[in-house]
Amino acid sequence: MASTTGESSRILHEIETLKSAKFDLERRISALESQLHNLNQPHNNGVSNASSTSPSTFPHGLSPDMIYRYSRHLLLPSFGVQGQLRLSKSSVLVVGAGGLGSPALLYLAASGVGRLGIVDHDVVELNNMHRQIIHTEAYIGRSKVESAAATCRSINSTVQIVEHKEALRTSNALEIFSKYDIIVDATDNAPSRYMISDCCVVLGKPLVSGAALGLEGQLTVYNYNGGPCYRCLFPTPPPTTACQRCADSGVLGVVPGIIGCLQALEAIKIASAVGDPLSGRMLLFDALAARIRIVKIRGRSVQCEVCGENSEFKAAQFQEFDYEKFTQSPLSTSPLKLKLLEPNSRISAREYRDRLHSNESHVLVDVRPEHHFKIVSLPNSLNIPLASLDGRLEEVVSALKEEEHKHKQKSKSSSNGDVELYVVCRRGNDSQRAVKYLQENGYPSAKDIIGGLEGWAQEVDPTFPSY
């Protein structure tokens, strides 16, 4: 038995070493390919391994390699040489290398845009993999931009890939955006969406905007051909409670995949000047109903504070604008850390473990939604979702009574019969709201577990699943 354990840990160690070596090699190959591409750039548009009897490029400017690589594009009468040439001279910036950005980047690189920029500050995580298909397991824990750039280069080494490993801010957005013709918004939060749209208006760039959550997606092109900007449509930000995140509400992986593909398509259409871009219209995708609806939206608003006729919103105003304050939500996607309760109304996960070990008489209420509870829960916890706590208070009462009864039977001696009431949730926000409610409704000693089940996994049981 011991030798088997030793053997498997040796194999695991070797896999890790090899993976790390593979990663370094891939990085070097990718960097060299990009270097080679830049060296070839001033002379002609392609990698010249053409035979001596044919010119390295033809009068239209496509090299033999490009003709072969993009032949199926060139065969399309409505796209053809003209479309491919325009595409190869264009530059596209994708903001966000996540669920939307992954397929968008894959198709933009494959289709042969001239220069492709990627902005993101995040690292690849295991729970990204089901939808962020540009990343591979080998890159878990590493920069999303590096990971996405390596995949793009491995698909098409002739595209110039530019890595922007930084969070987009008003301080760097103008400089980054100004180097590109078309901007693709593949971000996941409201302040970023306002910031990106405003920056596109200031610089006069078309914006391909996509969003996905749960089983629905939305897509449109802003600030293009007389169409509206994001602010024309949504002059006032929504309340923060209306801004759900994939990390809280969930998302079926293929849904942002579909929207991201459509974003690539719209960017390609604009870059190659082919077809009718989705400007002044919005595509609404409902995955469950298998329905795509395309609706007509308002045009540019003359009263728009940013793109309207009398707008004073220029680069200087953009750089001064506080998007987090405007939308009341953070640019980074870090989860909310609520401070609603006094410290003496809270216990840490470790304290809860100690009380559990000392057989303290208590009831643990888990206030997460039922489908969360089904994923994983602590033993002997009672699931009453926060939204229905008001109507199900009776269940808490009877659980407390039952526990008191058990306790009295066990220790017939000097029991004061006090049964503690604890509340847990996923991260320790809803549990505070629940405790506040319980304290106001007859349970002044109710306490919540700080950090929720995530805290439990971090402090007490590392094998407890995170989600």
Partner 1 sequence: MQLTLEFGGGLELLCNSVKIHNVSIDPENGVGKLIMKDLLSWVRANLIKERPEMFMKGDTVRPGVLVLVNDCDWELSGQLDTTLEEKDVVVFISTLHGG
Interface residue list for partner 1 (CB under 8 A): 96, 98-101, 186-190, 193, 210-214, 216-218, 233-239, 241-246, 249, 251, 256, 282, 284, 286, 289, 293-298, 387
Q: Would you say 297 or 460 has its CB closer to partner 1? A: 297
Residues 6+ apart with CB under 8 A from 355: 347, 362, 420
CA–CA distance, 242 with 227 (Å, rounded to integer): 26
Q: Would you say 186 or 202 has its CB closer to partner 1? A: 186
Structure tokens that stand for 205 in this block = 């760039």
Would you say 40 is a known binding-site residue?
Answer: no
Would you say 65 is a known binding-site residue?
Answer: no
Would you say 304 is a known binding-site residue?
Answer: yes
CA–CA distance, 84 with 103 (Å, rounded to integer): 20
Min CB(88)–partner 1 separation in Å:
27
Give the CA angle between residues 277, 93, 235 to the nearest 5°. Answer: 65
Structure tokens that stand for 170 in this block = 């008003």
Min CB(211)–partner 1 separation in Å:
4
Min CB(402)–partner 1 separation in Å:
30
Would you say 152 is a known binding-site residue?
Answer: no
Residue 55, amino acid: P
Would you say 127 is a known binding-site residue?
Answer: yes
CA–CA distance, 379 with 411 (Å, rounded to integer): 23
Concerning whether 261 is annotated as a catalytic residue, the answer is no
Quickly list DSSP for 366-379: E-S-HHHHHH---T
* Nearest Cα to Cα of residue 377 among 425, 449, 419, 447: 425
Q: Would you say 325 or 339 has its CB closer to partner 1? A: 325
* Unique residue bearing structure tokens 């995580």: 125
Give the CA angle between residues 45, 149, 165 to the nearest 5°. Answer: 120
Concerning whether 199 is annotated as a catalytic residue, the answer is no
Would you say 130 is a known binding-site residue?
Answer: yes
Min CB(439)–partner 1 separation in Å:
23
Min CB(270)–partner 1 separation in Å:
20
What is the C-alpha radius of gyration for the chain, rounded to an integer number of angstroms? Answer: 28
Biggest alpha carbon–alpha carbon distance for the chain: 103
Min CB(183)–partner 1 separation in Å:
14
The answer to whether 346 and 439 have CB atoms below 8 angstroms apart is no
Q: Would you say 96 or 455 has its CB closer to partner 1? A: 96
Out of 199, 200, 246, 261, pick the active-site residue: 246
* Nearest Cα to Cα of residue 365 among 311, 425, 411, 319: 425
* N residues, the chain: 467
Q: Would you say 239 or 442 has its CB closer to partner 1? A: 239
Would you say 261 is a known binding-site residue?
Answer: no
For 202, the 3-state DSSP assignment is helix
Helix or strand run (H / E) with residue 398? helix 393-410
Out of 152, 199, 243, 425, pick the active-site residue: 425
Would you say 229 is a known binding-site residue?
Answer: yes
Quickly list DSSP for 430-444: HHHHHHHHHHHTT-T
Q: Would you say 1 or 295 has its CB closer to partner 1? A: 295
CA–CA distance, 172 with 46 (Å, rounded to integer): 32
| Binding-site entries for Zn(2+) | 229, 232, 304, 307
| Binding-site entries | 99, 120, 127-131, 144, 188-189, 229, 232, 304, 307
Residues known to be catalytic: 246, 425
| Binding-site entries for ATP | 99, 120, 127-131, 144, 188-189
